[in-house]
């Protein structure tokens, strides 16, 4: 049945973006939960991840599969610098202060990107054969499948890191009760560094992977940040599961929305959902975890 295939196609189109949203949102929600910072510059890590990949592959002729982790490392280094220079000093600063700083940072990075790389949208070269694959009337490409695989794997890895490793557990402990965590011997500064770096790395990975499908340009970070915030609010600020489920749901909803409504309005889905959610369930869809 063609309707089913079309439906499936829209869902599939939304799935990758959903995974990307989930990746970006996990980092954002973690930074919020551990450091109590609403990182408005988060999307810029996504953007720089994409740009770094583009430059590595296109200009430095680095192998695509090598460029992806390399780009993440580059962003990680940047994130560490930012954390040590700026956020370390703002450890218990009020909401207005940290938010304004992240807004400033977002502007700084975006306009630096303009200066360094120009406004021209780029696309990361595709290392896979471009011939579309199809099954049951739904079309996709090898690159798309690879991208989904990578993002899904990263989500799982992220989940495992948070739930199973010592660092992950320490982060979650800090979440719940900072003073208690410090008393127990957890070094808060290390946790902050880890959380911030981890979040930035995930966002960069999303950018690196997605850069093969969408135009890579300096303003792409802004949109990503907004969507990530929508996901984080829908899923509950500080909830990892919420970020994952929320990201996937939003991506799928937008995929369907773009397919059945005009693509201009699809962006509104998330924003309206946020305001509706606040009307009916102020604490988010999930509890903090």
Partner 1 sequence: MADTHSRRSPLATAATAAVLLALFALPQVVHNEYLLHLCIVSAIFVIIALGLNLIVGYVGQLSLAHAAFFALGAYVSGLLFIKFKWSMWIGLPAAAVITGLIAFALGWVILRVRGHRFVIITVAFAEIMKLVATNWIDVTRGFMGLPGLTIPALYIPGIGAIDLSSKERFYYVALTAAIITFWLCAKLVGSSIGRAFVLVRENEVLAESLGISAFRYCMIAFVAGAAMAGAAGSLYGHYVGFVSPDLFNFSYITIMLIMVILGGKGTLLGPVLGAVIFTFLPELLREASHYRMVIFATILILATMFMPRGIIFPLVEHLVPKRWRNKP
Which residues are near partner 1 by CB under 8 A? 32, 36, 38, 86, 89-90, 95-97, 99-101, 103-105, 107-108, 111-112, 114-115, 222, 226, 229-230, 232-233, 237, 262, 264-265, 267-268, 270-272, 274-275, 278-279, 282
What are the helix (H) ranges across the chain?
Answer: 2-35, 42-54, 64-82, 95-117, 142-164, 166-176, 178-184, 188-210, 220-235, 240-260, 263-280
Q: Name the minimum Å distance from CB 285 to partner 1.
A: 14
Closer residue to partner 1 (CB): 212 or 235? 235
Q: Name the minimum Å distance from CB 135 to partner 1.
A: 34
Please name the helix (run of DSSP H) or strand (run of DSSP E) that holds residue 140, with its range, or none: strand 138-140
Closer residue to partner 1 (CB): 10 or 266? 266
Give the number of other Cβ atoms within 10 Å of residue 191's Cβ: 22
Backbone angles phi, psi at 195, to 5 degrees: -60, -45
Q: Name the minimum Å distance from CB 250 to partner 1.
A: 13
Closer residue to partner 1 (CB): 10 or 227? 227
Torsion of CA 147, 153, 158, 161, to 10 degrees: -150
What are the helix (H) ranges across 83-165?
Answer: 95-117, 142-164
Q: Name the minimum Å distance from CB 14 to partner 1.
A: 18
Q: Name the minimum Å distance from CB 57 to partner 1.
A: 25
Q: Name the minimum Å distance from CB 270 to partner 1.
A: 8
Q: How many helices (H) and strands (E) does the chain have?
A: 11, 2
Q: Name the minimum Å distance from CB 279 to partner 1.
A: 6
Cα separation, 69 vs 49, whole angstroms: 10
Q: How many residues does the chain have?
A: 289
Q: Which residue carries 């408005």 as its tokens?
A: 40
Closer residue to partner 1 (CB): 4 or 278? 278
Closer residue to partner 1 (CB): 43 or 212? 43
Closer residue to partner 1 (CB): 136 or 275? 275
**Cα Rg, the chain, nearest whole Å:** 19
Beta carbons within 8 Å of 70's beta carbon, 6+ residues apart: 52, 56, 62
Residue 270 tokens, joined: 């998330």
Residues β-bridged to residue 134:
139
At CA 156, angle to CA 204 and CA 247, rounded to 5? 65
Closer residue to partner 1 (CB): 104 or 215? 104
């Amino acid at each position: 049945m063609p309707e089913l295939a079309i439906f499936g196609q829209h869902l599939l189109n939304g799935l990758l973006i959903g995974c990307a949203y989930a990746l970006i949102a996990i980092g954002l929600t973690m930074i919020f939960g551990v450091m109590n910072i609403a990182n408005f510059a988060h999307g810029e890590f996504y953007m720089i991840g994409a740009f770094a990949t583009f430059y590595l592959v296109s200009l430095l002729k680095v192998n695509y599969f090598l460029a992806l982790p390399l780009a993440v490392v580059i962003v990680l280094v940047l994130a560490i610098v930012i954390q040590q220079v700026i956020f370390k000093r703002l450890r218990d600063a009020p909401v207005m202060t940290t938010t304004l700083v992240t807004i400033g940072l977002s502007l700084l990075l975006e306009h630096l990107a303009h200066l360094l790389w120009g406004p021209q949208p780029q696309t990361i070269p595709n290392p896979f054969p471009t011939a579309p694959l199809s099954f049951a009337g739904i079309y996709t490409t090898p690159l798309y499948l690879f991208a989904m695989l990578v993002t899904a794997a990263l989500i799982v890895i992220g989940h495992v890191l948070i739930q199973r490793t010592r660092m992950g557990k320490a982060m979650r402990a800090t979440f719940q009760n900072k003073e208690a965590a410090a008393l127990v011997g957890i070094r808060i500064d290390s946790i902050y560094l880890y959380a911030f770096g981890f979040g930035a790395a995930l966002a960069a990975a999303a950018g690196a992977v997605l850069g093969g499908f969408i135009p890579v340009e300096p303003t792409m970070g802004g949109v990503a940040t907004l969507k990530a915030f929508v996901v984080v609010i829908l899923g509950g600020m500080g909830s990892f599961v919420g970020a994952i489920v929320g990201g996937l749901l939003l991506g799928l909803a937008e995929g369907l929305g773009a397919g059945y409504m005009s693509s201009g309005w699809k962006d509104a889905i998330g924003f309206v959902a946020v305001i509706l959610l606040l009307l009916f369930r102020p604490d988010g869809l999930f509890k903090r975890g």
